[in-house]
Chains A and B, each alone.
Chain A
């Protein structure tokens, strides 16, 4: 006898598995995402450091890349205001309370 609603249970289980899969995949890459984000910040500082008072590469390199770096520039300026707590930032990624 076919139980009514079995396909609903199957569907829910599949959905739950999908969520669990996404969570696990997200956890697997969170450290790498943080590392990539930091590499992005280093790249931004190397190119646009002059805007926050850090010696930069030859000025024409900054000028040539500037049009494609709006988001990075905004991110760097935001980062300056939260730069007093870099360890807090790192600990939250490593889930250390």
Chain B
């Protein structure tokens, strides 16, 4: 069974990490096995839980584990694996000439969100027992590029596949005319494209599934509201929708009118301001017991 995936996205500094941490803690308190994943390079979860985390999930209580995604680890792992495959299939001189390219590829634009996607895929594959996986996302730009990656990649792959099929069809006609009988071309590139299309369709299905919920965190201020509007529009462009809007650090106990009017298609959760800050499991537990109603929108 696919676990429920909760993404918390929003402008930097609105409190995505504290909302993710308290929500994860809330579900673990209901005896639901929960994994909290920090995808934000700032990795605030270690401060909130006053603990150190790494790529290996670390239990915080009986039902909650926390993991930090290390993008550098995933980039290096991916580059090394690709380099190894290239060296195994290329002639020595060609592979030798590519060495210098591999040294600079780690700085290529786009690799950071791809590293997040690799980590995401590995997390889904290795967490069969979790009821919920909660993702504390990076600031807006990187999160949106990550969420759009499967659909953008599919556009490229499907166009490349069309071109490849055209080339192969022509090669088959040429062979038929030259030798007088049809020979089916076996093309490694087409096989690889086919495998990639299947992989990205699977990831795209996970992103579009009903169990995947994008939650937008904002504060009651114009800056985070403006960015929230841009996030909503960008998500719509890639066919994704906001499940719940979280108004974090709410001061007066009610949802501001301009937010409820703008996000009238979404559920809205109110997370009151915690004056003393949320540091340590005891503080999180107190916050949850004082504000149980805040979590009802997440099911």
Contact = CB atoms under 8 A, between A and B. Distances in A.
Interface residues of B, number: 38
A60 B160 contact: no
Contact of A58 (B94, B156, B178, B188): B156
Interface string A37-76: 0011011001100010000011111011111111001100
A49 B224 CA distance: 39
A46 B178 contact: no
B91 A70 contact: yes
Q: Quick one: which of A25, A63, A69, A70 has the most chain B CB within 10 A?
A: A63
Contacts of A68: 89, 188-189, 192
A87 to B, nearest CB: 23
A28 B86 CA distance: 37
A89 interface: no
B182 interface: no
B110 interface: yes
B82 A28 contact: no
A58 B110 contact: yes
Contacts of A9: none
Contact of A60 (B110, B164, B177, B189): B110
Given A43-B160, A58-B153, A61-B153, A51 B189 contact: no
Interface residues of A, number: 31
A39 B173 contact: no
B262 interface: no
A39 B89 contact: no
Contacts of B149: 58
B140 to A, nearest CB: 19
A65 B111 contact: no
Nearest to B109: A59
B62 interface: no
B124 interface: no
B178 A61 contact: no
A36 B94 contact: no
A39 B177 contact: no
B34 to A, nearest CB: 30
B152 A61 contact: no
A88 B173 CA distance: 26
Interface of B: 78-79, 82, 85-86, 88-91, 94, 101, 105, 108-111, 114, 149, 152-153, 156-157, 160, 163-164, 166-167, 170-171, 173-174, 177-178, 188-189, 192-193, 196
Across the A-B interface, the 6 shortest Cβ-Cβ residue pairs: A36-B170, A68-B188, A67-B85, A57-B156, A59-B108, A60-B114
Interface of A: 22, 25-26, 28-29, 32-33, 35-36, 39-40, 42-43, 46-47, 51, 57-61, 63-70, 73-74
20 contacts: A29-B174, A29-B178, A35-B170, A36-B170, A36-B171, A36-B174, A39-B167, A42-B163, A43-B164, A60-B78, A61-B153, A61-B156, A61-B157, A61-B160, A65-B189, A65-B192, A65-B193, A67-B90, A68-B89, A74-B94
Given A39-B170, A60-B153, A63-B82, 7 more contacts: A26-B178, A36-B170, A58-B114, A58-B152, A61-B196, A70-B89, A70-B90
